[in-house]
Amino acid sequence: MLAAGKLMLPILAVLTMLLIPSLSRAEVAVTLPPLGGLIRMLDPQAVITVLLPSTADPHHFQMSPKATESLRKATLLVRASRDDGGWSGLETAGNILDLWPRTSHAWTSPALVRASLPRLAAALEKIYPSHSVSIRARLNQAIAETKRIQAAWIAALAPYRKDGVIMQHPSWQPMCEQAGVPVRVVLETDRHGQEFGPRDLDRALQVIDAHPAVLLIFEQRHDNRGLDWIVAHSRHPLRRVMLDALGTDTMRWDQLMQENLKRLHP
C-alpha cells in the first residue's frame, strides 16, 4: 500500500502540471493587436493577452478591471506609446517594451517593424529562454518577410506616387511615406481629440481638383464621415479603399499586411 502511495505522488504531480499549464508559462500583454501579431511571428507558443477589445476604438479606450488584472499578471507589456499613450493604468506594468515611442502607427511600415524585431526577439528570449533557438530562427524569417511585404506594398502603391492619397486617419501614413506616395490630406490628426473642420474638407476638394486620381483611404475602425462627405461633393469619380490597421487578436503581422494589400489591390 505504501509503495502504491509513493507511486501515485509523481503521477499526480505530472497530471497537475498538465491540467494547469498556465501557472508555469509566462504571459505577454500587448496594447494593440498588431503587436501581438509581431510576437506570433517570432514565437507562436507565446501566451499573449491583447488589452484592446476587438470592437474598441484605441483612441478612446479605458482599461477595464479585467484588462488591468491581465496586465498585472503579465511578465512583459509590449506597447506603442504614441498610439496608446492616452490609456491609464499601463504604468503599473513592471516590465515594459515600448517599440515606437516617437512614431504613430509604426507597425504599418515594414522598415520600422524590421528595425524593432531584434529588440522584441531579445525581450521574448528573456521570458521564454527555452524558446531561444526557435525565436532566433524565426527572427531571420520575419525580417525576410518584412522585406517581401515592403516590396509588395511599394509596387501596389506605385500608381499613386503622382496624385497621392487622402486619409481619414493617419494609420497608413508610415507605409505611404515609405513607398514615396504623397499624403495630400489627413482629416484626423494622430493627436487624439483633434477633429477636422470645414476648411479641411474644402482643402481636400481642392486637392482632388488638382489630383483627380488621388486615392481615398477609409479606416475600418474609424468614423469615415469626412471622406463620405468628400465623395458626395467631389466632381470627380474617386478611387476608394477600406483598410484595417488593427486586424484581429489572432492575426500575425504578416497576415494583417497581406489582407490589407488584397483590399488595396484586389
The pLDDT tens digits of the residues spanning 128-148 come to 999 999 999 999 999 999 999
pLDDT of residue 190: 59
Q: Note whether 55 and 75 are within 8 A (CB).
A: no
Give the span between the Cα atoms of 143 and 113, in whole angstroms: 9
Domains of the chain: 14-149 (3.40.50.1980), 155-264 (3.40.50.1980)
State pLDDT tens for residues 39-93. Answer: 999 999 999 999 998 777 777 788 888 888 888 889 999 999 999 988 888 877 7
Give the span between the Cα atoms of 130 and 182, in whole angstroms: 45
- pLDDT of residue 191 exceeding 60: no
Give the span between the Cα atoms of 111 and 143, in whole angstroms: 9
pLDDT of residue 10: 52
Mean pLDDT of 103-128: 97
Q: How many CA atoms lie within 13 A of 172 on its CB side?
A: 34
3-state secondary structure of 216: strand
Which residue carries 507511486 as its cell? 7
